[in-house]
Amino acid sequence: MRTLGIETSCDETAVAIYDSDDGIIGESIHSQMIMHAEYGGVVPELASRDHCLKIVDVLKDALGNHSINTIDQIAYTSGPGLVGALLIGEGFAQGLSTALNIPLIPVNHLEGHLMSPMMEFQEIKMPFICLLVSGGHSMIVDVVEKGDYKIIGQSQDDAVGEAFDKVAKLLGLPYPGGPYIEKLATEGDPNSYDFPRPMIHSDNLDMSLSGLKTSVLYKVQKIINLDHNKKANIAASFQKAVSDLLVAKITKAVKEINRKDVIIAGGVAANKFIRSEFKKLEDLLGIKVYYPDLKYCGDNASMIAFVGSMMNAKKRGKNTSQVRARWPLDELKK
Ligand code: KG4
Ligand code: ZN
């Protein structure tokens, strides 16, 4: 059984093929990052237009020597995301599914992130806890079973990736800032500035990032000569504050709901410092922490094809639009 995955929810045009015997047998991704960088964030209209321009070539590249006729079903991201961008992927998926007369499966983008490490680590079994941290989302999810997802904690304001991007901007670093903060932080001392860890002691699993970002802003405004060393110290101290907050909330979640496996997914899961801080929890709590392969931390179509392969649609539905800008995980039906 072969599932073609299509992802266009934001600024990546991606196509992948998941084979139920051989795993991912083809994948291709075109990132629009450079195009949006000059605006300091994703421009939705430009994103849609670029998906239109690139999607056919990305499909051809993903297929390689595989014939499109070997595809059994098509899975595509139908939300959450930028509506205009999602519609390009959906229209393309519908066209292919009509032409090939094969089923079409709308997939929740967040579910793709949740499941992404399972492509590599077959030993992961549900239930598990997932910390999903990206540019648009920061949540702790109790993954009870396929389709049964309980959001047990989330950011009350900025997403973690968003906080990285905003702090990067304050330090004059390019967009998206997460990788640049991580790199700069390797030259800094994480204990040089005592930034707040908002809601770290709250009696729930929610968190807040905007106060931390504002605290970095005030600090940056007060520093007269913001040289490279001071920037590195700010980056390291900020990253440590974020990491402490996430580690504290996952520790609390593990103790409260007693899960043995923890998955960290989404763009921020690529951060090596955060990974190393979570590694320490394994012995401390007797858990195993999993991450997607680095290339699957950010948006990709392989995770969408993989989730689609678990759904195994029986017949082709109608070509009505399923696109949703908002699609909370706990609204997914089994
Ligand atoms: O999952 P993703 O590619 O896109 C969505 O938001 O869905 O995540 C992108 C976010 C950006 O905010 C980016 O700055 C952040 O993930 N990010 C990182 C790192 N790599 C990407 N944040 C911290 N450290 C990183 N190494
Ligand atoms: Zn994403």
In a domain, 172, yes or no: yes
| Ligand 1 nearest atom to the CA of residue 270, by list position | 26
176 and 254 housed in the same domain: yes
43 and 182 housed in the same domain: no
* Percent of the chain with pLDDT strictly greater than 70: 99
145 and 251 housed in the same domain: yes
Q: How many domains does the chain have?
A: 2
Which of 77, 155, 164, when mutated, tests ligand 1's pocket best, judged by the most ligand atoms within 8 Å of its CB? Answer: 164
Q: Which CATH number belongs to the domain containing residue 229 in this structure?
A: 3.30.420.40
Tokens 């930034």, located at residue: 195
pTM: 0.95
CB 298 near ligand 1, within 6 Å? yes
183 and 252 housed in the same domain: yes
| Ligand 1 nearest atom to the CA of residue 159, by list position | 12
Residue numbers of the domain that contains 93: 2-114+298-331
274 and 311 housed in the same domain: no
Stated as kind and residue range, the H or E segment containing 24 is strand 23-31
CB count, 10 Å around CB of 68? 14
Give me the residues paired with residue 290 across strands. 263
| Ligand 1 nearest atom to the CA of residue 11, by list position | 4
159 and 267 housed in the same domain: yes
The per-residue pLDDT for 134 is 94
* Three-state DSSP class for residue 192: coil
Residue 267 to residues 56, 134, 178, 217, Cα–Cα distance (Å): 25, 5, 8, 23
CB 271 near ligand 1, within 6 Å? yes
CB 179 near ligand 1, within 6 Å? yes
Alpha-carbon distance of 182 to 232, in angstroms, equals 9
In a domain, 119, yes or no: no
Give the confidence band of 313 by pLDDT, cuts at 50, 70, 90.
confident
Stretch 190-214: mean pLDDT, rounded? 96
- pLDDT above 80: residue 334: no
The per-residue pLDDT for 319 is 81
The per-residue pLDDT for 308 is 96
* Percent of the chain with pLDDT strictly greater than 90: 94
In a domain, 327, yes or no: yes
pLDDT tens per residue, range 29-60: 999 999 999 898 899 999 999 999 999 999 99
Nearest protein CA to atom 21 of ligand 1, as residue: 267
